[in-house]
Amino acid sequence: MATPTYDLIDSQVLGSSASEVTFSSIPGDWRDLILVVTKVKAVNSVVPSLRFNGDTGTNYSRVSMQGRAGNQAVSNSGTLNTLALNSDDSVGAGGDATYIIQILDYAQTDKHKSLLSRSGQYTTQANFVYALAGRWASTSAITSVTFRTFTDAFAAGVTFHLYGIAG
Partner 1 sequence: MAYELIETIEVGAGGAASIEFTSIPQDGVDLVCLVSGRATSSSAGGIEVRLSGDTSSNYLQRNLLGTGSGVSSTGGTDTAFQLATNPSTYTSNTFGNMSFYVCNYTSSATKSIKVDLVSENNAAAGFQRLISGHWNNTAAVTALKIFKPGDNLAQYSTASLYKIY
State the residues that interact with partner 1 by CB under 8 A: 4-8, 11, 36, 38-39, 65-72, 96-98, 100, 118-123, 127-129, 131, 159, 161, 163
- As a whole number of angstroms, the distance between CA 108 and CA 41 comes to 33
User: Positive or negative, the Cα torsion across 37, 43, 47, 48?
Assistant: negative
Query: Least CB distance from residue 131 to partner 1, whole Å?
Result: 5
Q: Which of helix, strand or coil describes residue 81?
A: coil
Query: Least CB distance from residue 45 to partner 1, whole Å?
Result: 19
Query: Least CB distance from residue 41 to partner 1, whole Å?
Result: 11
Query: Least CB distance from residue 79 to partner 1, whole Å?
Result: 26
Nearer to partner 1, 25 or 71 (CB): 71
Q: Which residues of 45-84 are buried (b: 16+ CB within 10 A; e: fewer)?
A: bbbbbbbbbebeeebbbbebebebeeeeeeeeeeebebbb
Amino acid occupying residue 80: L
Closest C-alpha among 99, 73, 78, 83 to residue 159: 99
Query: Least CB distance from residue 106 to partner 1, whole Å?
Result: 18
